[in-house]
């Protein structure tokens, strides 16, 4: 991610590391797109370092994405822009996964260690999306379950 950082006229630019990052997204970049990305990166870095004032004082990857959109270069450097977007999404996705594992650790403790996968999934959804479930009253949930097919026990 640091290789895409635009600070100091892309001083950290490292095409090899950027290509390695792109290979981590096989659903987004197939072999043909990897080759095209290599060509786009060559042109991209030359264009960025050529002295365009819009790209000279960028402070981060977010600013780079905004500048590419403002300069209408999204189509020209479509694969580079896709990689920039994926780089911006990565910290959010990582935090979401960490949050899910933290929730799972709380839910699947020693008492509930033998619960099945479906029940664990249901508990995790309720726990991680608790802000949605705060608006649902317990009476509505109880009524919903009582109207379902008979189970081993009634609420």
Name residues whose C-beta falls within 8 Å of residue 13's C-beta, 6 or more positions apart in sequence. Answer: 3, 4, 45
CB 55, CB 48: distance < 8 Å: yes
Q: What is the mean pLDDT of residues 143-154?
A: 68
Tell me what the pLDDT averaged over the chain comes to. 76
Q: What is the pLDDT of residue 57?
A: 74
Q: What is the pLDDT of residue 107?
A: 62
Q: Which of 10, 151, 15 is nearest to 83 (CA)?
A: 15
Q: Which of 86, 91, 84 is nearest to 4 (CA)?
A: 84
Residue 32 Rama label (left phi>0; alpha psi -120 to 50; beta) = alpha
Cβ-based burial of 55 (10 A; exposed 0-12, middle 13-18, buried ≥19): buried
Spans of all domains in the chain: 2-93, 108-146
pTM for this prediction: 0.57
The model's pLDDT over 63-109, given as tens digits with 9 standing for 90+, comes to 878 888 888 888 888 888 888 888 888 777 777 777 777 766 766 66
């Amino acid at each position: 991610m640091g290789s895409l950082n635009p600070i100091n006229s892309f001083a950290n630019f490292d095409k090899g590391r950027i290509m390695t990052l792109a290979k981590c997204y096989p659903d987004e970049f197939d072999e043909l797109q990897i080759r095209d990305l290599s060509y786009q990166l060559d042109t991209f870095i030359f264009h960025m370092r050529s002295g365009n004032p819009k790209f000279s004082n960028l402070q981060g990857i977010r600013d780079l994405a905004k500048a590419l959109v403002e300069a209408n270069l999204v189509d020209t450097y479509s694969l580079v822009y896709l990689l920039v977007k994926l780089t911006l999404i990565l910290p959010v996705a990582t935090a979401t996964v960490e949050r899910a594992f933290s929730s799972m650790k709380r839910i699947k403790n020693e008492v509930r260690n033998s619960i099945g996968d479906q029940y664990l999934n249901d508990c995790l959804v309720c726990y991680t999306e608790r802000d949605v479930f705060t608006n649902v009253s317990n009476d509505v949930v109880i009524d919903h379950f009582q109207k379902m097919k008979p189970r081993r026990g009634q609420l």
